[in-house]
Amino acid sequence: MTANIRNFCIIAHIDHGKSTLADRLLEHTGTVMNRDKKEQMLDDLELEQQRGITIKARAVRMRYKQDGQEYELNLIDTPGHVDFQYEVSRSLACCEGALLLVDAFQGVEAQTVANAFAAMEHELHIVPVINKIDLSMARPEEVAEEMMNALGTDPDDCVRVSAKTGIGVDELLKTIVAKIPAPSGDPDATLQAMVFDSNYDDYRGAITYVRVMQGTVRKGQKIQFIRTGSQHEVVELGQFVPQREPCDTLSAGQVGYLICNIKSLGDVHIGDTVSITGDKHAPALPGYSRPKRMVYCGLFPSDGQDFSELRDALERLAVNDPSFEFEPETSDALGFGFRCGFLGLLHMEIIQQRLENESNIDLVQTAPNVTYEVVNKRGETVTIHKPQDVPDPGDIEEFRQPIVRCNVIVPGDYIGAVMKLCQERRGIQKNQEYLGANRAMLTYDIPLAEVVYDLHDKIKSCTRGYGTLDYEMVGYEPADLCRMDIMVNGNRVDALSIVCNRADADRRGRAVAKKLKAEIERHMFEVAVQAAIGSRVIARETVPAMRKNVTAKCYGGDITRKRKLLQKQKEGKKRMKAIGNVEISQKAFMAVLSDGE
């Protein structure tokens, strides 16, 4: 019965209590036994528990009885951080409604606004929820007014809850049943299901998570993935409660998983449509728009041996997280590895840690950079993913950098500090509006390269933790950029090249050379560290040689004896320098990242 199914997700800013509210809903509907209870039930990745943040969206089915009727509630818990926006957009496509959760003390934040507009674009029914009403500093009335000003919700519709203590959760469950529409879909029509996530199991192959839009899927049935055209038999299907629980059928409106013993990872694509085999299959669903990768960096196995292991690990991870991409590349300094694209710096850090934890691979990572566009003298537009690909200055007609529109929500006292910070980052102010008596939203267009490294941290520190940032891509604009190369011992180290603004090049070059001087270990010969733009050297530092006093054994006597020994040492050092290799540690690669402020 589709009339008794409700599919919804929880969207909110980071740390507003999504995962805790999900725990309370599981508890109140009796989905989880008392003995299995633990904090953040749905955050089951080891990394999520260590960091206390949600990284992956998770689905769970709950049964809820009201007025003699039993309802099936399918909840999808989503992350709050801007880097995992793609996980949120995939969840929205599988639901009819969304709980928009706002902290009763912190109020409307930047991600709250972004997620609410995304839910409106998907035409979901939004249930506004004010959480943490048990706090002594809670101000639910003001927050309800902020939500009305920023998002147009009715203050009377706001459900007030405390996810920690369980106050108001029963009322919230009644509101979900009453307000969120039942899915429209005919269980007897041709099968049409959306793949919204997948996971790789070493024993069962790829496990696909689906939301059935039309029709019914049964155990033992033959199905096909429309995008790839591959056909498989359903070995097991079921729902998450929150662990996998097998059942015999999934019909229109339900959310669950399919296991088809798929061993080839290329057969599973998130956003694909599952239907029946043959020519009478259902049309493909629109799927998801491809996420725009914002940040690129090189990942290399640290001992050069595990190249194929690294590729297998990346392929397994790509099945579970389609928002990053990778392609093979070689580096003179680091050997064979992969160029990987990510949605942001936190996303990059999470992927690196998941590779090290889940696949036990030791990685060397190059300094991250954003994507640029170059128009050459022939009028062709080239996309640049790594600084080594930037053509010679004589061949560049126009150098373009990506610009993002940043929405920063700050208390009134800190507006001046945030404006100063954004202007230092070459930001152009577009808008300023007040959400309440003491909170404003500033909108700036800022180059992405200035945003991804540490703008979020800097905003947090200059607003004492109250400022929040959300950004979206606007496009590319021309700028005065150049490629800065780092040369160690006269050789260009391709992995250390960076693209930066010409006005900043001297400062950054000096800072990088100074950092590298401190990080590179001393050798038997002196090592020159230089920063150069084209053939012009803009900064130099020298790592001094280790010294041995070869004249220690000479006392008195003719000066020519000492000279002869020093000359001999000089020749030896010269020969060493010509054939010696300089070791550069991973710490030194990461030192290039910080701009030495």
C-alpha neighbours within 13 Å on the C-beta side of residue 274 = 34
Nearest one of 565, 583, 572 to 523, comparing CA atoms: 583
DSSP state, residue 137: T
3-state secondary structure of 504: helix
Higher pLDDT, 581 or 98: 98
Q: What is the pLDDT of residue 596?
A: 42
- Sequence letter at residue 181: P
**Structure confidence by residue, pLDDT tens digits, 455-469:** 777 887 888 777 777
Q: What is the pLDDT of residue 230?
A: 82
Nearest one of 487, 576, 447 to 524, comparing CA atoms: 576
Q: Which of 272-276, 426-430, 451-455 has the highest mean predicted lDDT (pLDDT)?
A: 426-430
Say how many Å lie between the first and final Cα of the chain, rounded.
62
Residue 553 has pLDDT above 80, yes or no: no
CA distance 140 to 131: 9
* Phi, then psi, of 117 in degrees rounded to 5: -65, -35
Would you call 595 exposed, middle or buried from its count of C-beta atoms within 10 A (0-12, 13-18, 19+)?
middle
For residue 42, what pLDDT band results from cuts at 50, 70 and 90? low
Residue 48 has pLDDT above 70, yes or no: no
CB 71 within 8 A of CB 61: no
131 is an annotated ligand-binding site residue: yes
Looking at 67-172, which runs of residues are DSSP E strands? 69-77, 97-103, 125-131, 159-160
Tokens of 256: 């669950």
Cis bond leading into 478, ω under 30°? no
- Sequence letter at residue 537: V
18 is an annotated ligand-binding site residue: yes
Tokens of 176: 């979900």
132 is an annotated ligand-binding site residue: yes
Q: What is the pLDDT of residue 393?
A: 76
133 is an annotated ligand-binding site residue: yes
CA distance 96 to 67: 22
Among 42-51, 78-87, 326-335, the least confident range: 42-51
Residue 259 has pLDDT above 50, yes or no: yes
279 is an annotated ligand-binding site residue: no
CB 489 within 8 A of CB 543: no
19 is an annotated ligand-binding site residue: yes
Q: 340 to each of 324, 352, 369, how far by Cα in Å?
A: 7, 10, 11
Among 132-141, 302-311, 331-340, 421-430, the least confident range: 302-311
**Structure confidence by residue, pLDDT tens digits, 439-449:** 888 898 988 88
Would you call 517 exposed, middle or buried from its count of C-beta atoms within 10 A (0-12, 13-18, 19+)?
middle
Q: What is the pLDDT of residue 194?
A: 85
Nearest one of 318, 339, 317 to 328, comparing CA atoms: 339
For residue 597, what pLDDT band results from cuts at 50, 70 and 90? very low
Q: What is the pLDDT of residue 288?
A: 65
pTM of the model: 0.69
Q: What is the pLDDT of residue 83?
A: 62
CB 462 within 8 A of CB 442: no
494 is an annotated ligand-binding site residue: no
Share of the chain above pLDDT 90, in %: 0
Q: Are strands 5-12 and 69-77 parallel, antiparallel or unpaired?
A: parallel
CA distance 365 to 448: 20
Q: What is the pLDDT of residue 240?
A: 83
20 is an annotated ligand-binding site residue: yes
Residue 554 has pLDDT above 70, yes or no: yes
Would you call 286 exposed, middle or buried from its count of C-beta atoms within 10 A (0-12, 13-18, 19+)?
exposed
16 is an annotated ligand-binding site residue: yes
Residue 521 has pLDDT above 80, yes or no: no
* Phi, then psi, of 128 in degrees rounded to 5: -75, 130
Q: What is the pLDDT of residue 290?
A: 67
Q: What is the pLDDT of residue 595?
A: 47
Tokens of 265: 């990872």
Query: Mean per-residue pLDDT for 63-81?
Result: 79
Residue 582 has pLDDT above 50, yes or no: yes
Q: What is the pLDDT of residue 46?
A: 59
570 is an annotated ligand-binding site residue: no
**Structure confidence by residue, pLDDT tens digits, 190-230:** 888 888 877 777 788 888 888 888 888 888 888 888 877 88
Tokens of 28: 């109140």
Per the prediction, the chain carries an average pLDDT of 79
**Structure confidence by residue, pLDDT tens digits, 361-400:** 777 777 777 888 888 888 888 888 777 778 877 788 888 8
CA distance 364 to 345: 16
3-state secondary structure of 559: helix
Please name each of the domains of the chain with its CATH number: 2-179 (3.40.50.300), 192-276 (2.40.30.10), 295-370 (3.30.70.870), 373-478 (3.30.70.240), 482-591 (3.30.70.2570)
The three-point CA angle 591-586-499 to 5° equals 50
Sign of the C-alpha dihedral, residues 481, 482, 483, 489? negative
Tokens of 237: 């299907």
**Structure confidence by residue, pLDDT tens digits, 114-156:** 788 888 888 888 889 998 888 888 888 888 888 888 888 888 8
Higher pLDDT, 578 or 550: 550
Residue 41 has pLDDT above 60, yes or no: no
Residue 110 has pLDDT above 80, yes or no: no
